[in-house]
A and B are shown apart, each in its own frame.
Chain A
Amino acid sequence: MTRKWWLVSAASGVLALGVAACGSSGSSSGLSGTIAGAGSSAQQAAQEAWTAKFEDQNSSATVSYDAIGSGGGRDQFIAGGSTAFAGSDSPFDSTELPKATKRCQGSGGQLVEIPDYISPIAVIYNLSGVDSLQLDPVTTAKIFRGQITTWNDPAIKADNPGVSLPSTRITPVHRSDDSGTTANFTDYLHSAAASVWTNDPDGTWPLSGGESAAQTSGMVQAVKAGDGTIGYADASQAQGLGVAKVKVGNSYVAPSAQGATNDFDQSKKDASLSQGKYVIAYTVDRTPTSSSSYPLLLVSYLMGCTKYSSDTTTKLVKAYFNYIISSAGQQDAASNAGSAPLPAGVVKEDQTAVNAIGS
Chain B
Amino acid sequence: MEAHTETTRQAGRLLAGATGGRRRRGDQIFSNATVIAAVTVLAILAGVAVFLIIKSVPAITANPAELPQGKTLIDYIAPLAFGTVLAAAVAVVVAVPLAVAVALFISHIAPRRLALTLAYVVDLLAAIPSIVYGLWGIFVLGPAMVPILDWLAAHLGFIPFFAGPASVTGRTMLTAGIVLAVMILPIISAVAREVFSQAPRNLEEGALALGATRWEMIRMVVLPFGRSAVVSGSMLGLGRALGETMAVTIILSVSGIVSFNLISEQNPTPIAANIALNFPESSGVQVNALIASGLVLFGITLVVNMIARLIISRANKDTE
| Docked pose: A214 CA to B278 CA in angstroms | 10
Which of B69, B143, B249, B265 touches A171 (beta carbons < 8 Å)?
A: B265
B167 touches A211 (CB 8 A): yes
Let me know if A262 is at the binding interface, CB within 8 A. no
Binds A, one of B97-105, B281-289, B293-301: B281-289
B280 touches A69 (CB 8 A): yes
A169 touches B165 (CB 8 A): yes
B165 touches A69 (CB 8 A): no
Chain A 51-86 residues near chain B, CB threshold 8 A? 67-72, 74-75
Let me know if B46 is at the binding interface, CB within 8 A. no
Let me know if B120 is at the binding interface, CB within 8 A. no
Let me know if A179 is at the binding interface, CB within 8 A. yes
| Docked pose: A173 CA to B167 CA in angstroms | 11
Residues of B within 8 A of A173 (CB): 169, 253
B142 touches A225 (CB 8 A): yes
Residues of A within 8 A of B138 (CB): 218, 221-222, 225
Let me know if A166 is at the binding interface, CB within 8 A. no
| Docked pose: A72 CA to B257 CA in angstroms | 27
Distance to closest chain A CB from B51 (angstroms): 19
Which of B165, B265, B276, B282 touches A210 (beta carbons < 8 Å)?
A: B265
Let me know if B122 is at the binding interface, CB within 8 A. no
| Docked pose: A229 CA to B143 CA in angstroms | 13
Residues of B within 8 A of A229 (CB): 168-169
Residues of A within 8 A of B250 (CB): 214, 218
**Tally of contact residues, A, Cβ under 8 A:** 33
| Docked pose: A208 CA to B266 CA in angstroms | 8
Let me know if A212 is at the binding interface, CB within 8 A. yes
Let me know if A176 is at the binding interface, CB within 8 A. yes
A72 touches B283 (CB 8 A): yes
Task: Decide yes or no: A225 and B266 within 8 Å by CB, A72-B281, A218-B250 being known contacts.
Answer: no
B280 touches A178 (CB 8 A): yes
Which of A75, A179, A213, A227 touches B253 (beta carbons < 8 Å)?
A: A213
| Docked pose: A209 CA to B265 CA in angstroms | 8
A222 touches B169 (CB 8 A): yes
Residues of A within 8 A of B254 (CB): 176, 212
Let me know if B171 is at the binding interface, CB within 8 A. yes
Distance to closest chain B CB from A23 (angstroms): 33
| Docked pose: A229 CA to B280 CA in angstroms | 26
Let me know if B68 is at the binding interface, CB within 8 A. yes
Residues of A within 8 A of B (CB): 41, 67-72, 74-75, 169, 171, 173, 176-179, 203-204, 208-214, 218, 221-222, 225-229
Jot down 15 A-B pairs with beta carbons below 8 A, ordered by A: A69-B281, A72-B282, A176-B269, A177-B278, A178-B277, A208-B255, A210-B255, A210-B266, A211-B265, A212-B255, A221-B138, A222-B169, A222-B253, A225-B171, A228-B168
Residues of B within 8 A of A (CB): 68-69, 138-139, 142-143, 146, 165, 167-171, 249-250, 253-257, 265-266, 269, 276-278, 280-284, 286
